[in-house]
Amino acid sequence: MVKWNDISDYEKQKVFDLIEEYQDPLFNGRSKAERNDLLKEIFKAYNKYVGGNYTLSNRTCASCVKNVTQFFITEYAKQKRTS
């Protein structure tokens, strides 16, 4: 498994773009399918780069969504501070 700290800046930026989209105030106004598609990509990135074992059904679990998104939000904030 590839670890988060070992992936390229390009790959990290792809995930950060997803997080920016998730944090957009208009996110909740999107269709359910659009929100699910975005969360699906975020969960896939988490499982791939962080080592989670979340299934796609966990997208409906509020604490699971919070855990996954909070990790990337924190990493995004760290990256913004160092750039």
- Half-sphere exposure of residue 76: CA atoms within 13 angstroms, side-chain side: 17
Q: Is the dihedral of CA 60, 58, 71, 36 positive or negative?
A: negative
- Which region, left, alpha or beta, applies to residue 24 given φ > 0 means left and ψ of -120 to 50 means alpha? beta
* C-beta separation of 77 from 16 below 8 A: no
User: What is the per-residue pLDDT across 41-65, written as a single tens digit (0 to 9) for each?
Assistant: 999 999 999 988 999 889 889 999 9
Domain that residue 16 falls in: 4-82
User: What is the per-residue pLDDT across 23-34, written as a single tens digit (0 to 9) for each?
Assistant: 999 998 999 999
Number of domains in the chain: 1
The confidence score (pLDDT) of residue 11 equals 95
